[in-house]
A = this chain, B = another copy of it.
């Protein structure tokens, strides 16, 4: 059969299913649902007019036809994998790919990358922003661990927000995080000014997705509790998809934001944002840096530099 008309996807599904003798297990390996595997096998069977599996109660059995082609099939994919690995050897050595959440990228990473590039002019940085939740939602069959594994496999450095990821890779905690209330200094003056914590109820509250959805209580709920303020509607106010957007709104004086001050260093230094009260709640979540074990020196260099830069 000619290369141009090989049903590659179906063959791959068949190879994996034959190896596991289970569509379910094959689906897990392929990061899809059993339905998809069933489709592919069915397509292959009807395209060829050959039955490949005997459907037993649990699990499957290979037919003679299936057995007859299994070895070349495995060799085939084995060879393709080999070819890919051979190519990987030639990866451009100068590029360092980093994957990080959007707000981290925008507010912590991008402002300081020039420092690293100054130290390592031979490196080309390739920064990708990725969010875990939409990614997971779109690929229902993937469990979280395998998604992270995939990210670590395709990026040199991965930055995550959350708990310590249970992966067998190099993991470093970048910095402990806390949240506090921040706002434009303009809101501290004039009519309706913010003078004591209880005054927050007179001003708009700004939220971002992570502050609302991560963990049990929203960032605002946590802060209100720490401030000893009761509110029946702790999540009222404007909502933004990214912390960076909520922060920008706060800078424009549109309201009060509860976020981690680490994301607002420049604004706090300039005074365009201020922390009016000394009420701060430590977060269990943190930023973690992941990298493959045995990664090349430039990756270690970057990880070391980033840890240092953010620790300051």
**Contact residues of A between 50 and 107, Cβ < 8 Å to B:** 50, 52, 63-66, 68-70, 72-73, 75-92, 95
When the two chains form their complex, are residues B76 and A79 in contact, meaning their CB atoms are under 8 A apart?
Answer: yes
Contact with B along A255-273 (1 / 0, CB 8 A): 0000000000000000000
- CB neighbours (8 Å) of A69 from chain B are 82-84, 86-87
Q: Is A30 an interface residue (CB 8 A)?
A: yes
Q: Is A11 an interface residue (CB 8 A)?
A: yes
**Closest partner residue, chain B, to A84 (CB atom):** B1
* Alpha-carbon distance A47/B82, docked complex (angstroms): 16
**Closest partner residue, chain B, to A76 (CB atom):** B79
When the two chains form their complex, are residues A48 and B88 in contact, meaning their CB atoms are under 8 A apart?
Answer: yes
Q: Is A9 an interface residue (CB 8 A)?
A: yes
* Alpha-carbon distance A68/B91, docked complex (angstroms): 13
| Interface secondary structure of A, over-half rule | helix
- CB neighbours (8 Å) of A82 from chain B are 69, 72, 76
Q: Is A119 an interface residue (CB 8 A)?
A: no
Query: Which of B8, B48, B84, B86 is A80 in contact with, Cβ under 8 Å?
Result: B8
When the two chains form their complex, are residues A72 and B68 in contact, meaning their CB atoms are under 8 A apart?
Answer: no
Query: Which of B1, B64, B78, B86 is A85 in contact with, Cβ under 8 Å?
Result: B1
Contact with B along A286-297 (1 / 0, CB 8 A): 000000000000
**Contact residues of A between 8 and 31, Cβ < 8 Å to B:** 8-9, 11-12, 15-16, 29-31
Q: Interface size on A (CB < 8 Å)?
A: 48
User: A1-B88, A88-B1, A95-B49 are contacts. A73–B80 as well, Cβ < 8 Å?
Assistant: yes
When the two chains form their complex, are residues A73 and B79 in contact, meaning their CB atoms are under 8 A apart?
Answer: yes
Query: Which of B4, B29, B90 is A65 in contact with, Cβ under 8 Å?
Result: B90
* Alpha-carbon distance A252/B171, docked complex (angstroms): 80
Q: Is A110 an interface residue (CB 8 A)?
A: no
User: A8-B9, A30-B4 are contacts. A83–B73 as well, Cβ < 8 Å?
Assistant: yes
- CB neighbours (8 Å) of A90 from chain B are 48, 50, 63-65, 68
Q: 27 A-B pairs, CB-CB below 8 angstroms?
A: A1-B81, A3-B12, A3-B15, A3-B77, A4-B12, A6-B80, A8-B8, A8-B12, A11-B80, A11-B84, A48-B88, A48-B91, A49-B95, A50-B87, A50-B91, A52-B87, A65-B89, A69-B83, A69-B87, A72-B82, A75-B75, A75-B76, A75-B79, A76-B78, A76-B79, A76-B83, A79-B79
